[in-house]
Amino acid sequence: MPKRLAPARRHDFAECSRFPLGPIALHPLRAQQGGVSHAAIPSAPLIVTAELPPPIQRWASALRAAHFPPERNFLQAHVTLFHALPVVLLEEARALLSGLAAGHAPVEARLVGIMDLGGGTALRLESPGMLALRERIADHFHGMLTAQDSHAPRLHVTVQNKVARADAIALQQRLSGEIARQSFAFTGLALHHYAGGPWTPAGGWAFRGKVRVGS
């Protein structure tokens, strides 16, 4: 049976502070029980994310905590740009992302609706600027990308996954009437090691330059 959802209520990011999640670190790694084996990190593939501003981070993480299966919810809300860069690129990736962040201003984006993931639900985002920046990263690492990472992603924030189809449809119907379109700006770029579920941080860089990409 699908879960019973609370009545729909329209809200926006201005209300995010009512979610008592506390400070959100630059990296979307949830505190882990027992930690991660550091011996496994050197061989772990690298994940690149675009960093959300803190109010949206808190709001989306609260949605994720409410609707993601708890036994699978290792992470806070995040926007993945690359899923699996080879770990041999670690220092090169750090240098590239650091340079891009230093030269660019925060990147404009919009929340435009809900994305159907089949067995889950995501917040659908649009950001020509972030896709342009991602293309620069992809060009830099040409020949080193997986098939998945060779294609531009549909930008999104997953708030529910691996649930019954009926539960996914119910949440999508609720959020479709509840989520208002909103503008925001990505605040930086981050790099993570994939650790078999949880992620461990490998670096984070705030946008602090003057160059603006896209619109």
CATH of the domain at 100: 3.90.1140.10
Which residues partner with 160 through β-bridges?
121
Q: Specify the pTM.
A: 0.82
Residue 128 resides in a domain = yes
Identify the pLDDT of residue 197.
Answer: 82
- Answer yes or no: are the C-beta atoms of 214 and 107 closer than 8 Å: yes
Residue 3 resides in a domain = no
Q: How many domains does the chain have?
A: 1
Residue 17 resides in a domain = no
Which residues partner with 179 through β-bridges?
11
Identify the pLDDT of residue 195.
Answer: 82
* The length of the chain, given as a count of residues: 215
Q: 35-59: per-residue pLDDT in tens?
A: 444 444 557 899 999 999 999 999 9
Which residues span the domain enclosing 53? 43-206
**Phi first, then psi: what are they for 168, rounded to 5°?**
-65, -45
Identify the pLDDT of residue 142.
Answer: 96
**Phi first, then psi: what are they for 40, rounded to 5°?**
-85, -20
Locate 199 and state its tokens.
């992620």
Residue 11 resides in a domain = no
Residue 215 resides in a domain = no
Can you spell out the DSSP letters for 132-157? HHHHHHHHHTTTS--TTTTS----EE
Q: Within the chain, which residues score under 70 in pLDDT?
A: 1-42, 215
Identify the pLDDT of residue 31.
Answer: 33
Q: Which own/partner contact pairs does 212-215 have at CB distance under 8 Å and 24+ positions apart?
A: 212/104, 212/105, 212/107, 212/108, 212/129, 213/104, 213/107, 213/128, 213/129, 213/130, 213/132, 213/133, 214/107, 214/108, 214/127, 214/128, 214/129, 214/130, 214/131, 214/132, 215/108, 215/128, 215/129
**Phi first, then psi: what are they for 112, rounded to 5°?**
-120, -5
Q: 20-41: per-residue pLDDT in tens?
A: 333 333 344 333 333 444 444 5
